[in-house]
Structure 1
Amino acid sequence: MREEVKAALEQVRPFLQRDGGDVELVDVDETSGIVKVKLKGACGG
């Protein structure tokens, strides 16, 4: 599941970067399916 999440983030990353932001994968809980990300830059607020 972690690799699928990474692939999905790579698809949206260019759009976030275009607005001065980015996204970082923090954690993937395989059991519950919960994904935690950290928004950076202009997206941080």
Structure 2
Amino acid sequence: MREKVMKVLDKVRPALQGDGGDVELVDITDKGIVQVRLTGACKGCPMSQMTLKNGIERIILKEIPEIKGVEAVS
């Protein structure tokens, strides 16, 4: 499962890096929640929640149906 999530994150990473940010996988819980850490410019950005939900989460849920959600951790 971890490898699948990493492949999806690698797809969204260039867009984040283009704006000076990045995302790293922290954990995948037993309940199917992917925990990520936004770094760089994404870390304190007011739009980070939109990036997380409308970008990262949307793509992960589409490509890996067994994942239930994505949340940011610090």
Q: Give the TM-score of the pair, scaled to structure 2.
A: 0.57
Deviations 1:4-26 (A, max 9, x none): 11000000000000000000110
Structure in which a larger fraction of residues adopt strand? 1
Structure 1 unaligned residues grouped into runs of 5+ = none
Runs of 4+ in 1 over 3 A off after TM superposition: none
**Count of aligned pairs between the two proteins:** 44
Q: Give the TM-score of the pair, scaled to structure 1.
A: 0.89
Distance 1:44 1:9 in 2: 16
Letter in 1 for 2:7: A
Report the 3-state secondary structure (helix = DSSP H, G, I; strand = E; otherwise coil) of the residue aligned with 1:35: strand
Distance 2:15 2:26 in 1: 19
Identity %: 64
Aligned-pair RMSD on alpha carbons?
0.7
Task: Quote the offset at 1:33 in angstroms.
Answer: 0.3
Partner of 1:19: 19
